[in-house]
Amino acid sequence: MWANVPRMTSQTPGIDINHLAKLARIALSDEEKIRFAHELGGILSYFEQLKQVNVEGVAPSAHAFPVYDMLREDEAGPLLDTDALQRIAPAFRDAQVVVPRIVDDEG
Amino acid sequence: MPDSLSQKPATELAALLRNGQTSAREIAQSCIERVNAVDGTIGAFLGFDAGDFLKQADEADARRATGKTLGPLDGIPVALKDNISAKDQPLTCASKMLKGYVSPYDATVTRKLREAGALVWGRLNMDEFAMGASTENSAFLKTHNPRDVTRSPGGSSGGSAAAVAAGLTPLALGTDTGGSIRQPAAWCGVVGMKPTYGRVSRYGIAAFASSLDQAGPLARTVADAALLLHAISGADPRDGTALANPVPDYANGLAGHRGKPWRVGVPHEFFATGLDPAVAAAIETVIAFYRSLGCEIKQVSLPATAHAVAAYYIIATAEASSNLARYDGIRYGHRSAAASDAVDIYALSRAEGFGDEVKRRIILGTYVLTSGYYDAYYVRAQKVRTLIRDDFLRVFNDVDFLLTPVSPTLPLKLGGEADNVLAQYLGDIYTIPVNLAGLPAISVPCGSTRGLPAAFQLIGKPLDEATLLAAAHSFEEAHSCTAHDPADAK
């Protein structure tokens, strides 16, 4: 499905919207590709300001208050029952979620 | 005085229940009647289960009849934003992706509310997956600001703020990743609080940006917000980031702190270009109030916050692109009928299920995490985040809390910023730094300007919600901007 999409040249160099859509696993329409590439360019220009910040020697923060080593006993607990999972699954049969075939037939 | 029970503050309802002057059933019925009467105009609720609501009310009344009341929230309705799980109730995050999804379990906040006897009800509208600041990104419904129905309620917790402002429910929960509780609270003229990161468990709340997300209360009075915050706070074995620090009795602590001569910091970066002069003037009156209490007003500087919006939209979209990868059309959520294989099913289901802003942010988050750009954007943003947090912690050596605007503008017209993505993002400029630094902050109404609600924000030290609530309560006691003033739908 990706091969059929014409390769867009956005105004912003360095943005390969087809590649991004593929990585993000979203089948963007041609219209969305043009629009998002354009908007992404504008937002990335705004991000350029971060290059002016002196971050030498500054440690990156993944969290404001990191909490480490949260340990507990490995105790068995209740799981969601099959009925609850069936209710939210798009396709369900014999207590299993039905998915498209992912492995070709042998031979 | 409001004529319907649903329009009264929770503390007043609790007193009426205690004195036998009303019942939980009467309160629940009043909420339902009010929704039926005005929510056609407001559009705060995506839906609610009246049978379940009244059943919870009857259980609360039965507890009270046998002297087994669970506390001040017993019998008080609390409505939920549509990204918070309540067992056997729908949860859509206002997205087509989750249309038809029913929560198999309670979020920890929901469980805690039930343990406090609260009547957990309703699904409140929001921006899809909490991405937005106007609630216009909902896939299902437009929410109108009860103070002026031509205007946006703000967002992403716009349904929560509008429901409380319109007197549809005394209390609601929202979530705040970059201002999504505080900004709609400001625009609708109610109290909204984002707690310290980790004060409230995130278990059972649909994840947007996990290092920034935090649930919190929306209420018509500061005392009500304190009651609700107390009920939902605390450690949780199901969320390793939920902090184990003891939870103070916020509501009972309000009176003890009354009118303390706090040291109030005013960061000049929050009063720069782009701030509506009407909002700035409203904040000046609040500064004058705290000065009149004997507070020392200190000019402070938070230089790194100038880069907060840029850092935020890198970090939040990076985390979102990872968190929302779970919506794959396989185990739950929308599955495309057009898919023919296991790769298609993922890309087509997401193309059909997600709205514009969600796609935009996933693409942006994917970009900043792409190899080759990772260090330039994501790691650099995380370093700027450190600088922003350090700025706040440094000024907290000299002040007890900071006083700032919540939003640079008064409530915008519906459709106002629809075509300008960057302008929308810049609207979060005063709320975003708080999430990056993990701090608590409260949005408090301070009257009206040009007929629209004005509000101020108090930002506190880590886990010092009590001081913020006490300072906000002092202001509220001296003014009548919130209590007994639920807006009537126009």
pLDDT digits (tens, 9 = 90+) for B283-330: 999 999 999 999 999 999 999 999 999 999 999 999 999 999 999 999
B419 to chain A: which residues are within 8 Å by CB?
A: none
Q: Do A65 and B385 make contact, defined as CB atoms within 8 angstroms?
A: no
Q: Is B102 on the interface with A (CB under 8 A)?
A: yes
CA distance A18 to B434: 35
CA distance B459 to B300: 13
Phi, psi torsion values for B338, nearest 5 degrees: -85, -10
State the pLDDT at residue A12.
Answer: 55
Q: Do A55 and B348 make contact, defined as CB atoms within 8 angstroms?
A: no
CA distance A58 to B135: 37
Confidence of residue A102 (pLDDT cuts 50, 70, 90): confident
Name the residue with higher pLDDT: B376 or A106.
B376
Taking the domains of chain A in order of start, what are their residue ranges?
1-50
pTM for this structure? 0.95
Q: Do B422 and A62 make contact, defined as CB atoms within 8 angstroms?
A: no
Distance from CA of A22 to the nearest CA of B (A): 8
Mean pLDDT of chain A: 84
CA distance B162 to B79: 11
Say if CB B197 and CB B212 are below 8 A apart: yes
State the pLDDT at residue B481.
Answer: 66
Say if CB B178 and CB B128 are below 8 A apart: no
Q: Best interface-test mutation with A: which of B201, B383, B385 has the largest number of A CBs within 10 A?
A: B383
State the pLDDT at residue B219.
Answer: 98
Q: Is B3 on the interface with A (CB under 8 A)?
A: no
Q: What is the DSSP letter of A106?
A: P
Q: Do B359 and A65 make contact, defined as CB atoms within 8 angstroms?
A: no
Is residue B180 flagged as an active site residue?
yes
Strand ranges in B227-279 using DSSP code E only, listed in sequence order: 263-267
A28 to chain B: which residues are within 8 Å by CB?
A: 351, 359, 363
State the pLDDT at residue B45.
Answer: 98
State the pLDDT at residue A66.
Answer: 79
Q: Among B342, B348, B462, select the one facing A102 at the smallest CB separation.
A: B342
Confidence of residue A15 (pLDDT cuts 50, 70, 90): confident
* One-letter amino acid of B423: A
Max mean pLDDT range (A8-12, A62-66, B74-78): B74-78
State the pLDDT at residue A5.
Answer: 32
> Which of residues 250 through 289 in chain B touch A, CB cutoff 8 A?
none
User: In order of start, what are the domains of chain B with their CATH numbers?
Assistant: 5-263+470-478 (3.90.1300.10)
State the pLDDT at residue A78.
Answer: 84
Is residue B336 flagged as an active site residue?
no
State the pLDDT at residue B158.
Answer: 98
* One-letter amino acid of A1: M
Coil vs helix vs strand at B93: coil
Strand ranges in B198-243 using DSSP code E only, listed in sequence order: 215-219
Query: How many beta-carbon contacts under 8 Å exist across A and B?
Result: 167
Q: Best interface-test mutation with B: which of A26, A92, A97 has the largest number of B CBs within 10 A?
A: A26
Is residue B81 flagged as an active site residue?
yes
CA nearest to A59 within chain B: B383
pLDDT at A47 over 60: yes
Q: Among B366, B379, B462, select the one facing A60 at the smallest CB separation.
A: B379
A88 to chain B: which residues are within 8 Å by CB?
A: 101-102, 104, 331-333
Largest CA distance in chain B: 70
Confidence of residue A106 (pLDDT cuts 50, 70, 90): low
Which is the catalytic residue, given B157, B180, B201, B321? B180
* Paired tokens of A56: 């030498």
The ipTM value here is 0.92
State the pLDDT at residue B259.
Answer: 65
Q: Do B346 and A25 make contact, defined as CB atoms within 8 angstroms?
A: yes
* Positions in chain B whose pLDDT score sits under 70: 1-2, 258-259, 418-419, 481-490
The kind and range of the H/E element at B77 are strand B77-81
Q: Best interface-test mutation with B: which of A44, A53, A70 has the largest number of B CBs within 10 A?
A: A53
